[in-house]
Amino acid sequence: MGYSRNRISAYHYQESEVYIIESKSGFYDQKSIMEINLKDTLRNLRRAKNITQETLADYLGITPQSVGKWERGEGYPDITMLPKIAIYFDVTVDELLDVSRARIEERIQAYRDESMECVYAGDTERNIALWEKAYGEFPNDCRVMSNLMGALQMIQEWKIPQEVTDRMVSLGERILQESRDTKLREDAISALCYTYKRVGDDEKALHYANMGGSLHCTKEVLVSFAQEGEEGIAATQEYIRSMLERVAFSAGCDLLRKGDYSTEERIHVYEFCIKLLKLPVSEEDAKLYADNVARFYQMIAWQYAYGENAEKTLEALENMTKYAVIASEDGAGNYRGLLVNRLEYDSEKRARNYRGNACNLSLDDLKKKEFDFVRQEERFRKVVKELEQNALTV
């Protein structure tokens, strides 16, 4: 798909689907465009053509003082004048503004880097604001749209506001219509499926679910099969780890959410999930699964609490605390188990949608009324104290 030489509203890069000038209102804010580096480019073009500021000003029908201000970066031409200036120097608008693909990539990478800081800190609100800003700057870049969708997906509430739903649908549909990138399309399909499910539209959720690929033809399956050497071992180990985690959450979350299961049945499933997560490694590598195991013990504690079984509730809370503390410990390195020894961990680079660490999350759980009947127990107070000692100040 080509582009008009000086047509601002349709101007884009053929290779990367990145639109530069067009925005939600039709054009970018004037100042933000000129800051791209117009002043240096304009001066160099004028000197290469061997003309004075007066000559250029006469052609444009403005004062020489205005051209001087542009070249000093003290002022900016009206945005509608850019095509006329570009035509005069026989360049495209991108050459006039010195907008290169490398510059765009650098800018988007800066957004990604800052976004990862937000994700590791569990600062969902800041991450959403960051990608909203990026979307304002690159409103037609599908990568930016995808990252904005990802940030919105991190909202903790299951029932998301209607405006968030509308935004997700709008962004997802645009990606499916405009992008040919397989990863971006898959992420959009997944996000749309989850979004419609969260608002109770099962029909549309299933529509997008059916657009997904087969379990036997995912990138992870094929790479773990095709890749050789150390990289192949690492890819296969990561596939095993991720599949066990996915099965655990399918059983402990998706399955139990869909049926009317008894307390005993739910506890049985949660204990199965814990065994599954621990299966490929020993307690030496507990960091690999500690965060998720803490969540499942918390669910077990809830089930016992519903029946006011104090002993079993406290036992589950103590196990939850044990693994929440492990998950909250600082450190980085390789796991040691045979099935995971090519995988690395870094406690500072763990994505989360809550502030603090696993101990902060567990402390929030303990505030729920279900635990009021054991709140005065010494063992409960000990659990709270240990979590508070290992929680982060947020």
How confident is the model over 11-44, as pLDDT tens digits?
A: 333 333 333 333 333 334 444 444 556 777 888 8
Domains of the chain, earliest start first: 8-97 (1.10.260.40), 119-212 (1.25.40.10), 220-390 (no CATH)
Task: List Cβ<8 Å contacts ≥24 apart for 126-130.
Answer: 127/151, 127/154, 128/152, 128/154
Question: Which runs of E-coded beta strand occur in 293-381?
Answer: 332-334, 344-346
What does each C-alpha distance from 212 to 31, 173, 225, 258 come to in angstroms? 42, 15, 21, 21
Average pLDDT over residues 73-91: 85
How confident is the model over 324-351, as pLDDT tens digits?
A: 999 998 888 888 888 888 988 887 777 7
Q: Give the total residue count for the chain.
A: 394
**Residue 391 or 26, more confident:** 391
Average pLDDT over residues 249-258: 92
> SS3 string of 247-300?
HHHHHHHHHHHHCCCCHHHHHHHHHHHHHHHHCCCCHHHHHHCHHHHHHHHHHH
Is residue 102 over pLDDT 70? Answer: no
Q: What are phi and psi of 310, to 5 degrees?
A: -60, -45
pLDDT of residue 22: 38
Pairing of strands 332-334, 344-346: antiparallel
How confident is the model over 118-134, as pLDDT tens digits?
A: 988 889 999 999 999 99
Share above pLDDT 70 across residues of the chain, in percent, rounded to a whole number? 89
Give yes or no for a contact between 358 and 386, defined as CB atoms under 8 angstroms apart: no
Amino acid at 331: G
pLDDT of residue 131: 95
Is residue 114 over pLDDT 90? Answer: yes
How confident is the model over 183-213, as pLDDT tens digits?
A: 999 999 999 999 999 888 999 999 999 998 8
**101 strand-pairing partners:** none
Average pLDDT over residues 278-303: 90
CA torsion sign, 149 to 151 to 152 to 157? positive
Is residue 254 over pLDDT 80? Answer: yes
